[in-house]
Amino acid sequence: MDLAYSAEYEDFRRETRAFLENHRGQFPKPYGGGRPATDMLAWQKLLIENGYAARTIPRVYGGYGAAPDILKSRIIAEEFTRAKAPTGIAGQGISILVPTLLEVGSEEQKRQYIAPTLRGEIIWCQGYSEPGAGSDLASLQTRGVEDGGDFLINGQKIWTSTAQSADMIFCLVRTESERAKHQGISYILFPMTIPGIDVRPLKTMTGNAEFNEVFFTDVRVPQQNVVGGRGQGWFVANATLKYERGMLGDPNAANTRLQAIIELMKEETAGGQRLMDNAVLRDRLMQLQARVMAMQFHGLRLVTAAATGDDVGLARLIVKLEGCELNHQLAAFAIDALGELGVLYHDSPHLRANGFWQRAYMFDLGLIIGGGTAQIQKNIIAERGLGMPREPKLARE
């Protein structure tokens, strides 16, 4: 147990800090998804050139080409948070598609897509879920039928964030209808500009359309756009699910929320009493602080295990379930602390934090459900973590 960083890492931290100090004037507005603004594109380029984005992606594909070093990644994250510096372009293209292509893409696909994706020139959306295929994703029904050298794709996707501004989609399509359900799926890349694609915003309970529905009618896609081989899509997608779950349940996000709640409870009063002086609220705050700390230290443990290659088994499987739940509980508590002020929304007078807490409380319920529901996570923890019997499979079609 040694929480100090060695000299090499302390040097790296100083370099990172100096870089951020020197470029403070160039910070763009934080990336909010969709099409990046010009200053964000320039920032992204600068970050890649200096190894603060696309750090471990090989140079030949437009990355910085450093060896993976989770401690350095952590230092970068810590220093960017400390400097309140925007971290560059994020999204499903960079976080999910790029690692997938690196793992199973053809050389041509890697050269064609990775570099422009990293630069923010190609924006991607993910076409997995369907109205009839949620937790049971492999039952998806969007079909691609061979037509010459192409597939003709018909069907519907849902929960497709960024679809309205995406250039491309990575999409799961049933191309081998005669095969068993897990063996009949292909992972296909295609432009969102092809005729026959209809994107309809999906407004959620927050009042915003964070997602879309995407309809495909005779969408013609060349067969060479398949990643990892025909019928291999399920296995390609599973390679990416781990990257998606890694994005969810981040303990630093929980800590940021906790600190905001502490400030709120020091500043806000009810009946002339500071919220912090309300013993019941303070007790709830302390309960949440203990949970946030536990998840942060848990994160340190997982970082160490990843760096040393230790198998921590169950410890890693619980992060999505616990992390998403904790974030949701933090939002719920902030609303309770605010009381009647906590239900103000839209652009109401007296609104606090631009309605962040209610929006987070509602949106986070989607994160508890998405990326593998809490119930699916519990199955995984029980079966893979605790060695309990697998669900009896119903007759496969």
Binding site residues, another protein, CB under 8 A: 1-6, 9, 71, 74, 262, 265, 276-277, 279, 282-283, 285-287, 289-291, 293-295, 297-298, 300-301, 303-305, 308, 310, 314-315, 318, 321-322, 375, 377-379, 381-383, 385-392
- Smallest gap, in angstroms, from Cβ of residue 75 to another protein? 9
Task: Give the phi and the psi of residue 326 in degrees, each rounded to 5.
Answer: -65, -45
Rounded to whole angstroms, the Cα distance separating 218 from 152 reads 5
- Smallest gap, in angstroms, from Cβ of residue 228 to another protein? 31
The answer to whether the CB of 37 falls within 8 A of the CB of 29 is yes
- Smallest gap, in angstroms, from Cβ of residue 279 to another protein? 8
- Shorter beta-carbon distance to another protein: residue 54 or 285: 285
In terms of Cβ atoms closer than 10 Å to its own Cβ (0-12, 13-18, 19+), residue 190 is buried
- Shorter beta-carbon distance to another protein: residue 136 or 218: 136
Helix residue ranges, H only, 23-91? 38-50, 70-82
- Shorter beta-carbon distance to another protein: residue 305 or 362: 305
E strand intervals along 273-362: 273-274
- Smallest gap, in angstroms, from Cβ of residue 317 to another protein? 8
Rounded to whole angstroms, the Cα distance separating 176 from 233 reads 11
Q: Helix (H, G, I), strand (E, B), or coil: what is residue 172?
A: strand
Q: Helix (H, G, I), strand (E, B), or coil: what is residue 134?
A: coil
Rounded to whole angstroms, the Cα distance separating 359 from 205 reads 9
- Smallest gap, in angstroms, from Cβ of residue 151 to another protein? 37
Rounded to whole angstroms, the Cα distance separating 376 from 364 reads 17
- Shorter beta-carbon distance to another protein: residue 180 or 388: 388
Residue with tokens 């079909």: 143
- Shorter beta-carbon distance to another protein: residue 104 or 369: 369
- Smallest gap, in angstroms, from Cβ of residue 254 to another protein? 11
Signed CA dihedral, 351, 357, 360, 364: sign only: negative
Rounded to whole angstroms, the Cα distance separating 238 from 160 reads 18
- Shorter beta-carbon distance to another protein: residue 78 or 213: 78
- Shorter beta-carbon distance to another protein: residue 85 or 265: 265
Residue-wise DSSP of 186-222: EEEEEETTSTTEEEEEE--TTSS--EEEEEEEEEEEE
Q: Helix (H, G, I), strand (E, B), or coil: what is residue 127?
A: strand
The two three-digit tokens of residue 101, written as one number: 């292509």
- Smallest gap, in angstroms, from Cβ of residue 56 to another protein? 18
Positions marked catalytic? 244
- Smallest gap, in angstroms, from Cβ of residue 110 to another protein? 33
The two three-digit tokens of residue 383, written as one number: 């079966």
Rounded to whole angstroms, the Cα distance separating 132 from 139 reads 8
The answer to whether the CB of 163 falls within 8 A of the CB of 214 is yes
- Shorter beta-carbon distance to another protein: residue 98 or 337: 337
Q: Helix (H, G, I), strand (E, B), or coil: what is residue 256?
A: helix
